[in-house]
Structure 1
Amino acid sequence: MASRFGPGDVRFFDRLARLYDLAMPPARVRPLRDGFAFADRPIERVLDLAGGTGRASHGFRGVGFDPVVVDISAGMLARARDAGHEVVRGDVGRLPVAEDAVDAAVVVDALHHLPDPEAGLREAARVITPGGVLVVQEFHPRTLLGSALVAGERAIGFDSTFWTPEELCAALSDAGFESRIVREGFEYVVVGRVPRK
C-alpha cells in the first residue's frame, strides 16, 4: 500500500512542519553519541538524514557536532534553516552527496518513513568514509508502544517499514556495514560501521 501522503509521507510533513517541534519531544542524543564510539576514525562531518526540522541536530550542538540536515520536505527544511542548521534538500535514497564525504550520519525516528529504506542504507554506506558510522534510532514494532505506533501510522495512512533491532542490523549488514545493537527497548539504537578497505 502506498502512502496517501506521497513517497516518504512528504506532504504530511510539509503540512505539519510549523507544529512538528511542538508535538515531538527533543531528541535524546546520548544513545546516538554512544553509537559514535564504534567509529574507527575521528567524527567531524556528520549528516542528519531525513532530519526534518533538525530536531536531532539541535541536540548534537550541545555536544560539539553540528550535522547537516538532509530531508526531502521543503517545509521541514525551512524550519531547520530558520533554526540555524545547514540544510540540503534531497532524497535519502539518492543522496546529493559525494562518496566518502562524511565521517558519520544519523537517522532519528525517520528510517521507517523512507519509501525505500534499503536504498537509504546503501546511500549512507556510499557517503560515509571507511571507519565511519551510521547510527539509527527506530521504534521496536514488537513492544507494546511499538505495536500501537505501527497501528497509528497505518490508521493515518503512512506506508511505514518497521524492523526489530535484529532485522535492522541484518539490513545494515546487507548494505555493507558491520552492525551491532547499541540500545534495546521501544526506541532502540543500532550502529553500522563502514569497513576499512
Structure 2
Amino acid sequence: MSSLYGSGDVRFFDRIARLYDVAMPSARVGPLLSGLEYARRPVERVLDVAGGTGRATRALSREGPEPVVVDFSAGMLARARADGREGVRADAGTLPVRDGAVDAVVVVDALHHLPDPKRAIAEAARVLAPGGVLVVQEFHPTTTLGRGLVLAESAVGFDSTFWTPAELCEMFGQAGLRTRIVRDGFEYVVAGRRPEDVPVASDERKRERH
C-alpha cells in the first residue's frame, strides 16, 4: 500500500505525534465552515482526510457534525482516537469509502505532504455525493510567509509541493469540481463542489470502461 504522505513524512509525523497538538495552533474553523457552506446538500457525513490528530475535526465538531479522521500515520491517528475521535487508517489516494458516500471532505494544511495530490483530489471527488464539497486549506507559496515555509519544509526534509489558489482551483476543475476561493492570503481555503447533475453511478460506469 502506498502511504498517505511521503514515506519520510510518515516517519516524521509518527515521531512527533505526542507533541503535535502542543506545537500546532487550533485550526481556524471560520474559513472551513465558509467552505462547507458551498455545498448544496445538508453536510452531515464528513471526512477529515490527512487529519492527523484530529486538529480540524475538533474545531469542526464544535460547530456541527464530527468528521471521521482519515490518516496513514499510525502515531497521529492513535492520538486522534485517544481524544475520542473516530479514526480510519487509510491512504488518501484509495479511500475505503463507496462512491457518493459523504457530504464533505476536508484536507487542512496537509495536501502539500501527499505524494500524489491530484489522485487524492480525484478520490475525494469520487466519494462526494452530488452537491457535496471538498474543502482544502493550504499555504500560498508566493507570499512572504509562504516562501519561508517552503524553505523550512525543504530544510526539514519534506518533499512538499505547494500551489497558488488559482493552481489548486485548476486541479479541482480537472477532478470535475466547481470551485471557489473561500479565503485568500498565506493560509488560503479553496472549496470544490461536485455538480448535482452528475449521478453517482457515472463513476462506476467510468471505471468499468477502463
How far apart are residue 97 of structure 1 and its match? 1.1
Number of the residue aligned with 1:104: 104
What's the TM-score, normalizing by structure 1?
0.96
- Residues 51-86 of structure 1 show CA distances to partners (whole Å, capped at 9, x for unaligned) of 000000001121022000000000000000001110
2-structure distance, mates of 1:14, 1:164? 28
Number of the residue aligned with 2:44: 44
1-structure distance, mates of 2:38, 2:77? 29
What's the TM-score, normalizing by structure 2?
0.90
Number of the residue aligned with 1:139: 139
Number of the residue aligned with 2:204: none
CA RMSD of aligned residues (A): 1.1
How far apart are residue 6 of structure 1 and its match? 4.2
2:57 and 2:69 in contact (8 A); partners too: yes
1:8 and 1:114 in contact (8 A); partners too: no
SS in structure 2 opposite 1:81?
helix
2:112 and 2:161 in contact (8 A); partners too: yes
Further displaced range: 131-140 or 58-67: 58-67
2-structure distance, mates of 1:53, 1:156? 20
How far apart are residue 8 of structure 1 and its match? 6.9
Number of the residue aligned with 2:175: 175
2-structure distance, mates of 1:7, 1:177? 29
Number of the residue aligned with 2:74: 74
Poorly superposed stretches of 4+, deviation over 4 Å: none
1-structure distance, mates of 2:119, 2:26? 27
2-structure distance, mates of 1:132, 1:77? 25
SS in structure 2 opposite 1:188?
strand
Number of the residue aligned with 1:7: 7
SS in structure 1 opposite 2:43?
coil
Q: How many residues in Structure 1 have an aligned counterpart in Structure 2?
A: 193
1:7 and 1:114 in contact (8 A); partners too: no
Number of the residue aligned with 2:64: 64
1:46 and 1:102 in contact (8 A); partners too: yes
SS in structure 2 opposite 1:158?
coil
| TM-aligned CA distance change 1:8 to 1:114, over 3 Å | farther
- Residues 169-193 of structure 1 show CA distances to partners (whole Å, capped at 9, x for unaligned) of 0000011111110000100000000
1-structure distance, mates of 2:37, 2:59? 17
